Amino acid sequence: MKTGQQNTIAKTTSLLYETGIATGFAFRFFRQWFRRPFEFKEFLTQCYNVGYTSLPLIGLTGFIMGLVLTMQLRPTMLEYGVASQIPAIVGIAIIREIGPVISALIFAGKIGSSIGAELGSMKVTEQIDAMDVSGTNPFKFLVVSRVLACTLMLPVLSVISDAISLFGAFLGINIRGNTSFQLFWTEVVSSLSFNDILPAFIKTFIFGFAVGIVGCYKGYTCNKGTAGVGRSANSSVVVASVLIFIIDLLVVQVTDILGYN
């Protein structure tokens, strides 16, 4: 019988081992990325699958977030007599934090799980081996194209989501107030600076990469059986979501050190 301490050591060792393997997987992505042949057609297909199909969901959640945030904020702001500051506060909150993080979390739920399940089921049904014997580098065809698509599409989705979110915020203000779109927009833009936009935009690339690489890793290393596919889909979402928060924390620290706050 293992003692509690032995269990903890075993779990920690296993976690460190898995982290090492996953890091090796990520390095393999960077090594393969620059090598020919470039799977450009598959990359475009994945951009469509990852980007276009996620747009309605990310747009809808962005809209609701903007609307709800404004409606929740308004009574308190009115109480303190600073209701005119709502567009500026909402704008900064959405652009700097809420837009990128919520978009990334929704993206992890939709795309991370889908990639984990798809690659996992391909692994279990030997489709990845079949690709290998068909003269295709499956890592390049499946992993590199998907990770690149995620890395490039999430920033685009995040920008669109921010815009829809701000529109939701504008509607939220006008449910009980009367603010013109021009005034709202001027207030939002004048409150934002380069230091607000750039770090927030850059971190969406890192979020996209994290979602893509975790989904691919979990699917590509899936154990045999349908239970394995379920586990890889589930853990893709869980690990990617936790990673998003960790990356967010690190990016905030780094931007703070660099003087972007």
Q: Least distance to another protein from the beta carbon of 41, Å?
A: 10
Amino acid present at 142: L
| Count of CB atoms situated within 10 Å of the CB of 256 | 11
Q: Least distance to another protein from the beta carbon of 55, Å?
A: 21
Q: Least distance to another protein from the beta carbon of 136, Å?
A: 5
| Count of CB atoms situated within 10 Å of the CB of 79 | 9
- Identify the three-state secondary structure at position 3: coil
Phi–psi pair at 56, nearest 5 degrees: -60, -45
Q: Least distance to another protein from the beta carbon of 127, Å?
A: 5
Complex with another protein: residue 27 or 245, whichever CB lies closer: 27
Amino acid present at 88: A
Contact between 144 and 52 under an 8 Å Cβ cutoff? The reply is no
Q: Least distance to another protein from the beta carbon of 118, Å?
A: 8
Q: Least distance to another protein from the beta carbon of 121, Å?
A: 7
92: its two tokens? 């900064």
The whole-angstrom separation of Cα 21 and Cα 159 is: 33
Complex with another protein: residue 131 or 160, whichever CB lies closer: 131
Phi–psi pair at 134, nearest 5 degrees: -90, 15
Complex with another protein: residue 136 or 234, whichever CB lies closer: 136
Name 37's Cβ contacts closer than 8 Å, sequence gap at least 6.
140
Interface residue list for another protein (CB under 8 A):
121-122, 125-127, 129-137
The whole-angstrom separation of Cα 62 and Cα 67 is: 9
Complex with another protein: residue 142 or 164, whichever CB lies closer: 142
Complex with another protein: residue 2 or 36, whichever CB lies closer: 36
Q: Least distance to another protein from the beta carbon of 113, Å?
A: 16
Complex with another protein: residue 131 or 163, whichever CB lies closer: 131
Complex with another protein: residue 46 or 241, whichever CB lies closer: 46
Name 219's Cβ contacts closer than 8 Å, sequence gap at least 6.
115, 116, 117, 118, 119, 120, 122, 123, 232, 233, 236
Half-sphere exposure of 53 (CA within 13 A, CB side): 11
